[in-house]
Amino acid sequence: MTLETMPLGKALNAGLRRAMEDDPKVLLMGEDIGKLGGVFRITEHLQRDFGEQRVLDTPLAESGLVGTAIGLAMAGFRPVVEIQFDGFVFPAFDQITTQLAKLTNRHEGALSLPIVIRIPYGGHIGAVEHHQESPEAYFTHTPGLRVVSPSTANDAYWMIQEAIASNDPVIFLEPKSRYWPKGEVELDASAVPLHSSRVVRTGSDVTLVGHGAMVTTLLQAAALAEAEGTSCEVIDVRSLSPVDYEPILGSIRKTGRMVYAQEAPGHTSLGSEIAATVMERAFYALEAPVLRVSGYDTPFPAAKLEGAYLPDADRILEAVDRSLAY
């Protein structure tokens, strides 16, 4: 097994490179992704190595960018679109939800749209308005889209390749605060299936579930809880649509308790859906209600206030204590 330690951002770059080497139909498109290598340098050197015909710098027009990708996919290409920041995806929202998500169904399965839309999302970087949002619920609510989010460098490397190989459109949410921390990447291992949850820490008292950057916060909370005598199991959802429920349900049958944590607002969110499904499918295993910890139901605040807005280990531990108190 070949292991290499690298940041999540570099792992994405390596995964994109490998996908482009394996399939000449893979194209990258986005604002400033060529010579600059993208705002976060995820596509650094790829235009140099693959040329301007395969790594395209596009105008600042997200709707046109996604619309062009749809046309390219119809012509047999596999476009990978970069949205520069999460808040900039909304000009392309009509193209994504009205066209991209529905065209395969409209053609009764005769048309495939193998398009990946990469979206850096979430907080923890002190950015300005429109640069720190968690829009995942819009896309998980939309039939016809697959939605995934890696939390580790290894997952980033493999999941981007699997997303590109998918014949369905994939919304690929990249937790921007995790771009820089390093992790081990298994460069020649077998990929974990794209749409699968994973237990990242075992425990026996409470199940902690989340996705993206929140997985790191859950692990921090679990370590603090262990010091106080509480054993927490942590599950990384990884695939937001479809959700792989079996690891979650299996854990709850062991612990009897669950806390879901997310950066997005709690109202009608991914956490709401998973909590409802767990209540339906594992009701008799639960010793306490499923609890949720989330961002507040307000617009994402100014950078100086993000620490009060985003869930931290203390808020998660408070939910753990409430769950154990039932």
Single pTM value for the model: 0.95
At 208-248, the pLDDT tens digits run 999 999 999 999 999 999 999 999 999 999 999 999 999 99
Q: Which of 234, 280, 291, 223 is nearest to 257 (CA)?
A: 291
Active-site residue, from 131, 195, 211, 267: 131
At 15-70, the pLDDT tens digits run 999 999 999 999 999 999 999 999 999 999 999 999 999 999 999 999 999 999 99
Report whether the peptide linkage leading into residue 242 is cis, meaning its omega lies within 30 degrees of zero: yes
> What pLDDT score does 191 carry?
76
How many CB atoms are closer than 10 A to CB 195?
A: 18
- For residue 325, the SS3 value is helix
- Looking at the predicted structure, is the pLDDT value of residue 1 above 90? no
| Tokens encoding 145 | 């889209």
Strands of 78-82's sheet, edge to edge? 55-57, 26-30, 78-82, 116-121, 170-175, 146-148, 239-241
Place of tokens 């262990």: 226
* pLDDT range class, residue 124, cuts 50, 70, 90: confident
Query: HEC string of 228-294?
Result: CCCCEEEEECCEEECCCCHHHHHHHHHHCCEEEEEEEECCCCHHHHHHHHHHHHCHHHCCCCCEEEE
Specify whether 131 is catalytic.
yes
> What pLDDT score does 100 carry?
97
Q: Cα separation of 43 and 35, whole Å?
A: 9
8 A C-beta contact, residue 131 and residue 87: yes
8 A C-beta contact, residue 182 and residue 152: no
At 186-208, the pLDDT tens digits run 998 877 899 999 999 999 999 99
User: Could you say which DSSP state residue 74 is in?
Assistant: H
8 A C-beta contact, residue 152 and residue 186: no
Burial of 75 (0-12, 13-18, 19+ CB in 10 A): exposed
- Looking at the predicted structure, is the pLDDT value of residue 179 above 80? yes
At 69-88, the pLDDT tens digits run 999 999 999 999 999 988 89
Helix, strand, coil shares, percent, the chain, to 5: 40, 20, 40
